[in-house]
Amino acid sequence: MAWLRRTRAPVSAAEARHEGKPARHRGITRALAELRGFGVPTKIDFIWSTTGSGVEEEHPRTIHVHRGMLLAGRAPAAVLARSARTAALDLADVARHEIGHALLFLDDAVTRTPGFRALFGDISSRYRVGTAADEVERRLTRHGGLANPRYRRVISLYAAAHPHERFAEAVKLALATRGAPRAAARFTTAHGLADIVLDQVAFAAGWLRTYRKT
């Protein structure tokens, strides 16, 4: 939790000067390259933020990346590995997750299909999602954390917060594995996840392969 809160904390005055400027980072470059590998032509811009990472539904082509996420580059490897099941620390994973939100905000037709609802839920459900740190901490302290069987059915604790987050996390893993079923299976096996998680990732990968919103 310490690193999760540290990377989401307010930034220094020196870092705050980057607010609104184009965000350039090898993790962002990697995530965009993975997206292009699926043939997705959508134009997306990344800018630095001092108030958190995210996408505004009204302006989905602009992804805000919290400048504090740069601190994740100093996190121990073990911490980064554990974050795969809590909430993203690695900046590439943050970019992948937010790409999932951006693309869905641009074209949400898939959310009305039975397949989406069966795997991720109804996105019209009340969206009372707090910060990633708060959502993860609540599940760790009040709901048994990763030992709770219910969380074997989602990629991460943050994914459990809402269908939007479940889908964004599935897109994150689909991009990271480049849609390769074996790579996704290695992740789910390593973390003891239920088969539905593989189905979620496969669904997201299939959706990306047919996504043509420019």
148 to 42, 57, 160: CA distances (angstroms) = 38, 32, 12
- Asked whether residue 172 is assigned to any structural domain, the reply reads yes
- Asked whether residue 106 is assigned to any structural domain, the reply reads yes
Please give the Cα distance from 52 to 63 (Å, whole number): 11
- Asked whether residue 74 is assigned to any structural domain, the reply reads yes
Radius of gyration from C-alpha coordinates of the chain: 16
What is the extent of the structural domain holding 118?
2-209
- Asked whether residue 214 is assigned to any structural domain, the reply reads no
| pLDDT confidence of residue 141 | 86
pTM: 0.96
Number of domains in the chain: 1
SS3 of the chain: the string is CHHHHHHHCCCCHHHHCCCCCECCCHHHHHHHHHHHHCCCCCCCEEEEECCCCEEECCEEEEEEEEHHHHHHHHCCHHHHHHHCCCCCCCHHHHHHHHHHHHHHHHCCHHHHCHHHHHHHCCCCCCCCCCCHHHHHHHHHHHCCHHHCHHHHHCCCCHHHHCHHHHHHHHHHHHHHCCCCHHHHHHHHHHCCCCHHHHHHHHHHHHHHHCCCCC
- Asked whether residue 137 is assigned to any structural domain, the reply reads yes
List the chain pLDDT tens, one digit each, 214 residues: 899 999 999 999 999 999 999 999 999 999 999 999 999 999 999 999 999 999 999 999 999 999 999 999 999 999 999 999 999 999 999 999 999 999 999 999 999 999 999 999 999 988 777 788 888 888 988 888 889 999 999 999 999 999 999 999 999 999 999 999 999 999 999 999 999 999 999 999 999 999 999 9
- Asked whether residue 148 is assigned to any structural domain, the reply reads yes
- Asked whether residue 195 is assigned to any structural domain, the reply reads yes
Which amino acid is located at 131 in the chain?
Answer: T
- Asked whether residue 73 is assigned to any structural domain, the reply reads yes
